[in-house]
Each structure stands twice: as C-alpha cells, then as structure tokens.
A and B are shown apart, each in its own frame.
Chain A
Amino acid sequence: MDVSDILASSAAKQKLTTVEKEVPLQVDAGLLTVTDLNPVDKESYDENTEDYLLSTARDGVQTLIAALAALPTVPSPYGPLSQLPPATTELPRAKPLPKPKPPTKWEQFAKAKGIQKKRKDRKVWDEEKQEWINRWGRDAKNKEGEDMWLSEVKLGADVSHDPAQELRTARKVRVAKNERQRLRNIAHAQGSSQVSEREQRTREIDRTLATTRVSTASMGRFDKQLESEKKLRGVKRKFDSNERSVEEEKKNSLAIISKLESETNRARKEKSGGDDILNVRKAIRSASRGKGSAALSRDSSGKGRGKKGKR
C-alpha cells in the first residue's frame, strides 16, 4: 500500500492552515485582532497592491482563526462557543470607573458576621391552598390573616379589638421601618452635607438661639427661663483613643511641627515688616491710664479746662 499520496495531501492541508512569517503574528483573541509586524514587501506591493493586501490579510485571518480554534469551547444550542481570553491590548475607557457604593448598615453587619446573601423566591408554597402564592403583593403570604372572615378573640379582650386590623398595622409598621432604614442608608451614602434646605434652616436657627442665650453679661445664668426651654447642651470633649497606629501618630506629630513652623514664620514676618513693633492699643491704654484714646486727646488739647472742671 502506498501512503505517500495520503501523506502528501495531509502535508498540503497543513500548509494551507499554517502561516509562517519572519516575525510571528501577534494575536489578541479577546479583541479578535491580529497584528502583522512584518515590514511591507515593496516589490509585491508595487506589482499588484490589491492582491498583496488580500494575501497578507488572509495570512493574518488564518492565524487568528487557528488561535481561536485552539481555545477551549463550551457547548451551546448554536454550536461550540470558544471561550475568549481577556484582551491584552489596553484601550482607554469611554467613561470613568464607577465609584464603589458604600455598603448599607445591613451589608456591613452581614460582612462582619459572615452572612451570605440568599436570594428569596417571589413565590412561596401555601399548604392550605396547596398552591404557590406571592410572597408580597396581591393576595400575598404577608397579608395572611388580614382577610380572615373569622378569628378567635381572647376572653376579656377590648371591645375595639380587631385582629385583622392589628395584623395590618403591624405590617405597615414593618414597611415603614424598612423605608426609614433605606432612606437613612441613602442619606449616609450621600454624606452629611446632603441635608434638606429646611433642615439646614432649622439648624441655623438653633445655633443662633444657643448663641444668644449665652450672650448676656452673666452668660445666661440669671435670665428668665421659658417654660419649654431646654437646658443648653455644651460641647462634649472628645478624646483620641490611646491605642493608635504608628502611622497616625506620626501624622499628628508632623502636623503639630508644621503648625509650629508656620507660627514662627508668621512671627518672623511680622517682625521683619516693622509695622507692629509698637502695640498701639496697649500704648494708648497705658498712656491714658485706661481711659482710652478720646480722653487722651482731650487731655492733651486742653489741660487747663480739664483741671478747671475738677473740683
């Protein structure tokens, strides 16, 4: 049996599907791109441009297809799907990276406790009705008992006691609580700067009121108290924790040093300016013996009159 024909034909097939070039072609399978870095062959380009372009393109596509065919595949109803690797060529994005959402309070808690998120089905099985019913919404499980035509009332219950209404209010309270928590999470995510105008105004008024209350000579001690007036709350002192990271400590120390430096700089500047060598206010006070500049000028202008007036 002569196998040379078979061998020759298989060799021809191999030749058809393999491309050999001086510089091997670069394939970026993720972007379906192939780059041929071989310099353009001037002779064949000049001879027949279109043919040359077609042949280089064919070589490139052949290499790309070979690279794609070698990738692992997964079966699908349409045929095998090649799993492409991520692109190696980095292209600029069209929009900036999304900012990570701050976790909600529950998410923080769940993370600390290691609670996995479980997806709840929309439907739950009802044993009595023997069918799947909504978890929430129309005729839902969470409204069970609210439309019961008959319910047991304990002995000595209030006349106005309505079990269905009670269940309904309890549900409404749960919903309201959830909504409150949701809004709080949103507010927290947006930061404390995002308060409503009304809220801002209220805070401003409160602040002004607090200032005026301590603005009398006795700092509000002997003022008449209004009936509903609350005691003023002072600022609570806050202390840093004793255990701090070295990094933080270093930062704080450096901040103090830089502050000191800037203060000495400022003092030096003031000195060099020469304007503030004399503290004018202090000088007037000592010269006028605490009577002020007006008295000083009066004294200097008419000494006699001043004496005259004195009896």
Chain B
Amino acid sequence: MLRTVKPKNARSKRAQEAREPKEVEGPRTAIFVKGTHTGDVVNNAMKELMALKRPDAISFSKKNPIHPFEDASSLEFWSQKNDASLFVIGQSTKKRPNGLVFARMFDYKVLDMCEVGVEGFKGMSEFKGPKSTPGHAPALHFASDLFDTHPRFIHLKSLLLSFFSGTTVDSLHLPGLEHVISISLSPTPPSLTSSSDDDTQTLPKVHLRTYYIKTTPSGTRTPAVSLLPMGPHLDLALRRHVPPSSNAHLLTLAMRRPKLKKMDAEKGLGKRKKNVEVDEMGDVRGRIHLGKQDLAGLKGRRVKALRGGPESEDSGESGNEVESEEESPRQKKRSRGGD
C-alpha cells in the first residue's frame, strides 16, 4: 500500500483531489507493461493499441517480471501509483506465444482479467488512407450472437467496452466520430457450449478491426457510411481469464450506481420517458393529456346587446318581490287590526 500524505500546498492538494472517487467517472487510464519477454508482434500490437487509447495511456518502457494470473500485487501497486485502472500486459512464452493480458481494476484491486493470444497482426502503417485523430472517441461494433450468450464473450465485451469507451459522453458532434473498432467472431463451431468454459480450443477467434468512417450525404437526414480499413487489425484467441464473478464482493461494489439527483429524475434520466419522442425531423414531440374542459366557467365576449336584456328584467322582478314581501305583513297586521 502506498502511504498517503497530507498535501502541503495547493497544487498537490488539487492533484490528490483529482484522484478521489467521483460520482461520474472520466475515462479509464491504461498502463501498457511488457513482461520478461515480448516478441515483435506483441510489441507492435501494444504500440498500436496504445495509439488508439491515447491520451489515457501510460507506457512502461522497462521489462517487468510479472505474472498477473499468479501474483497481482505489482499491478495493484502500479495502479495506485499511476491512478490507472486498466492494464495491458504483453508477454510471449513458449507455452503461450504472443500473449496480451487485459486487466481491469476496481479500487486499485484486480477485478477481472482476460488473456488473449495475438495470432495475426497488421499495423496502421500497412494501410494507406486517412487515420483518425488521436483522442477522438471511437464507435464500437460487436458482431456475434455469442456476445449475448457465452460468458467468456460477455466478459470480453464488457472488458473491451471499458477499455475503449468507458465514459459516457453527453453530447457528440457527429463528424467527430472518425473511427470504429469492430470486434467480430469467427463462425461458432457446433461443438461450442456455454459450459465448455475452460476449453479455449473450441472458442471462436476474435477479429479486432479498426476502420475509418467516411460519411457521404445521402439526401436523407442519415448520411451514408462507408468504411476504410485503418488498422490495427488483430486476430485474437482467448486464453486464461479471471471472471469478475470470482471477485464477487468487489463486483457488487463496482456495480453500485449513484442515486439520481432530483433534477436528473425530472429530466427523465433513469426513468422511462413517457409521451416524448423524437420525430424524423429531429424535433422533440410530446403528447399532453388534458382533463375535460369546463365550459360553464368559460367567459365569452360580452356584447352590449347581450348584456342588456335579461339582467334589467331580473332587477325589476327582484324589486317587485321585495315590495310584495314588505307589503304582505302590513296587510296581515291591518287585517288583524280590522278584526
């Protein structure tokens, strides 16, 4: 554990505050570490992945004797030291050639890991054509039914989502969406079942492709899309993994969501929006339900011709009534007096 010191000046205090947990988290920082031996393929793959991840990436230039599946203590140390919550560890051994380990941390502890073997690699330089601007958020595309059914691939999807687009963006300039990272699988072998979890031989291969998005106006509101290969292109095979469910207590803490503020709830976040929709023109349309209108209380225009008649009659009648009422007791009295 790193010692925590009380900040002595405003700058270090700001730096410490920036590390404190936040309600809405920013992008995760990834550390790229080399193991004891990395081949050319792994080196290049890490370099290119880092180019995609920039600027939230830290590269360790030295080799480190680490074995994340046996001992994760150095990961925890680095995570705290650099305030990073993702790791990519490259290691090439005879038993597991060209291995990349993706590790995700929670609270500076390892939450889950997934090891992949790089079986095919093509760098950015091998493709001619436009490249995306560093720092732009990528679009992500996952293609296979296994991303919804097989635990290994559900895990992989979650891990890669955290890796490439962990943060939620609240607004986006559409032309700023410059590249897409597409993760697709090879055809599902018939022998594959979700229970054959440990047998990595039967699992389909993972193809990670990066394309530049070129949009052309189509005459409709939606532009037409064409893709140009940009690189890097990786063919991966799944190997060992540590599922997040193995650290159940960490996972429950990690999946906690902040309570919605009242304002957000009013805006309709967290709740289903009712009677509000966006039409084809991009306008927000709402449906309002009104009660039955009370026509009795309706005040129309008062015209002189309408005002005169019935009111004057009313006043005359009422005057008469008063008189008659006044008269009647007198008459009674008189009649009594007469008797």
What residue of chain B has the Cβ atom nearest to residue A69's Cβ? Answer: B222
Given A17-B224, A65-B174, CB of A36 within 8 Å of CB of B253: no
Pick the contact of B111: A35, A36, A79, A92 (CB < 8 A). Answer: A92
Nearest CB on B from A226, distance (A): 41
| B53 contacts across to A, CB distance below 8 A | none
**A-contact bits for B211-243, CB 8 A (1 contact / 0 none):** 101010011111111110100000000000000
Nearest CB on A from B88, distance (A): 16
Q: Are A45 and B21 in contact (CB under 8 A)?
A: no
Residue B119 CB within 8 A of the other chain: no
Looking at B158, B180, B229, B280, the one whose CB has the most chain A CB atoms below 10 A away is B180
How long is the Cα–Cα vector from A82 to B147 in the complex, in angstroms? Answer: 28
> Which of A54-70 touch B at CB < 8 Å?
54, 56-58, 60-62, 64-66, 68-70
How long is the Cα–Cα vector from A36 to B227 in the complex, in angstroms? Answer: 17
Nearest CB on A from B89, distance (A): 18
How long is the Cα–Cα vector from A13 to B177 in the complex, in angstroms? Answer: 22
Nearest CB on B from A19, distance (A): 10
Q: Are B282 and A33 in contact (CB under 8 A)?
A: no
Q: Are A98 and B173 in contact (CB under 8 A)?
A: no
Residue A149 CB within 8 A of the other chain: no
| A46 contacts across to B, CB distance below 8 A | 187
Kindly specify which of B99-107, B306-314, B316-324, B327-335 makes contact with the partner chain: B99-107
Q: Are B227 and A61 in contact (CB under 8 A)?
A: yes
Pick the contact of A36: B142, B158, B186, B209 (CB < 8 A). Answer: B142
Q: Are A96 and B222 in contact (CB under 8 A)?
A: no
| A78 contacts across to B, CB distance below 8 A | 173
| A94 contacts across to B, CB distance below 8 A | 25, 28, 85, 105-106, 166
Nearest CB on A from B136, distance (A): 11
Q: Are B255 and A13 in contact (CB under 8 A)?
A: no
Looking at B144, B157, B168, B255, the one whose CB has the most chain A CB atoms below 10 A away is B168
What residue of chain B has the Cβ atom nearest to residue A76's Cβ? Answer: B173
> Which of A89-126 touch B at CB < 8 Å?
89-98
Q: Are A32 and B251 in contact (CB under 8 A)?
A: no
**B-contact bits for A252-270, CB 8 A (1 contact / 0 none):** 0000000000000000000
Residue A39 CB within 8 A of the other chain: yes
Pick the contact of A98: B20, B28, B185, B220 (CB < 8 A). Answer: B20
Nearest CB on B from A127, distance (A): 35
Which bracket fits the contact residues of B? Answer: 35 or more
Residue A287 CB within 8 A of the other chain: no
> Which of B11-29 touch A at CB < 8 Å?
20-23, 25, 28
Give the number of chain A interface residues (Cβ < 8 Å): 61
Nearest CB on A from B107, distance (A): 5
Q: Are A68 and B218 in contact (CB under 8 A)?
A: no
What residue of chain B has the Cβ atom nearest to residue A31's Cβ? Answer: B165
What residue of chain A has the Cβ atom nearest to residue B166's Cβ? Answer: A91
> Which of B96-143 touch A at CB < 8 Å?
104-107, 111, 137-143
| B141 contacts across to A, CB distance below 8 A | 33-36, 56-57, 60-61, 64
Q: Are B229 and A54 in contact (CB under 8 A)?
A: yes
**A-contact bits for B183-214, CB 8 A (1 contact / 0 none):** 01111100000000000000010010101010
> Which of B140-158 touch A at CB < 8 Å?
140-145, 147-148, 157-158
Given A17-B224, A68-B172, A96-B21, CB of A53 within 8 Å of CB of B209: yes
How long is the Cα–Cα vector from A32 to B167 in the complex, in angstroms? Answer: 10
Q: Are A33 and B161 in contact (CB under 8 A)?
A: yes
Pick the contact of B21: A23, A42, A56, A98 (CB < 8 A). Answer: A98
| B215 contacts across to A, CB distance below 8 A | 65
Pick the contact of B143: A57, A74, A91 (CB < 8 A). Answer: A57
Residue B248 CB within 8 A of the other chain: no
| B2 contacts across to A, CB distance below 8 A | none
Residue A71 CB within 8 A of the other chain: yes
Nearest CB on B from A252, distance (A): 30
Q: Are A45 and B187 in contact (CB under 8 A)?
A: yes
Given A57-B180, A92-B244, CB of A70 within 8 Å of CB of B161: no
Given A33-B161, A92-B244, CB of A70 within 8 Å of CB of B278: yes
Q: Are B28 and A86 in contact (CB under 8 A)?
A: no
Nearest CB on A from B290, distance (A): 24
Q: Are A62 and B255 in contact (CB under 8 A)?
A: no
Q: Are A84 and B227 in contact (CB under 8 A)?
A: no
Residue A87 CB within 8 A of the other chain: yes
How long is the Cα–Cα vector from A165 to B122 in the complex, in angstroms? Answer: 78
Residue A37 CB within 8 A of the other chain: yes
Nearest CB on B from A272, distance (A): 39
Residue A81 CB within 8 A of the other chain: yes
Pick the contact of B168: A56, A83, A87 (CB < 8 A). Answer: A87
Nearest CB on A from B177, distance (A): 7
Residue B170 CB within 8 A of the other chain: yes
How long is the Cα–Cα vector from A81 to B174 in the complex, in angstroms? Answer: 7
Pick the contact of B137: A32, A39, A86 (CB < 8 A). Answer: A32
Nearest CB on B from A27, distance (A): 10
Pick the contact of A97: B21, B225, B251 (CB < 8 A). Answer: B21
Give 11 CB contacts A-B under 8 Å.
Answer: A31-B165, A32-B169, A37-B148, A57-B211, A61-B139, A62-B222, A65-B174, A66-B222, A71-B282, A78-B173, A81-B171
Closest A-B pairs by Cβ, 5 of them: A92-B254, A95-B21, A94-B85, A57-B182, A36-B143
